Structure 1
């Protein structure tokens, strides 16, 4: 069984307030599980969300030299 995180734990891992993960849940942008009235986010889904939204740096374009 995978570990289910509370909204507070997700916010702590993301370094945000609780409002952000709650908004992700409301907008259905992250997979969640309802356990009675409680909402939990599977740990692997949080990792997948972070991976999907990670922007990799690109190499800067080479500087173009102009003739004087």
Structure 2
């Protein structure tokens, strides 16, 4: 719905809850590398394979990762590889 659009005589305005995707931050390979230390080439290879690394998608000609997906993937990696006693 567009800002200030009229629906059945009622004026509706866009709220933050209406557009959650607009608030999402999208990262390119360079930003994912800065956060994870994983080389850009490795990230692109994993994306090409489609079965490794954080979820990504094409936005126009660029491959992007949702910041929330990268952070969730990191948390899952930590949970899956942490040994008893907290030593990874």
Gaps of at least 5 residues in structure 1 are 60-68
- Return the TM-score normalized by structure 1: 0.73
1:52 aligned to 76, 79, 82, which one?
76
2:60 aligned to 33, 36, 39, which one?
36
For 1:44 and 1:16, the matched residues in 2 are separated by 17
Gaps of at least 5 residues in structure 2 are 1-21
- Return the TM-score normalized by structure 2: 0.58
Q: Structure 1 or 2: larger helix share?
A: 2
Q: Say whether 1:23 aligns with 2:52.
A: no
Q: Which runs of 4+ in 1 moved over 4 A?
A: none
For 2:62 and 2:49, the matched residues in 1 are separated by 17
State the number of aligned residues.
Answer: 59
Tell me which moved more, 19-28 or 6-15. Answer: 19-28
1:11–1:20 CA contact under 8 A, matched in 2 = no
Larger RCO, structures 1/2 (Cα 8 Å, 6+ apart): 1
Q: Give the superposed CA RMSD.
A: 1.4
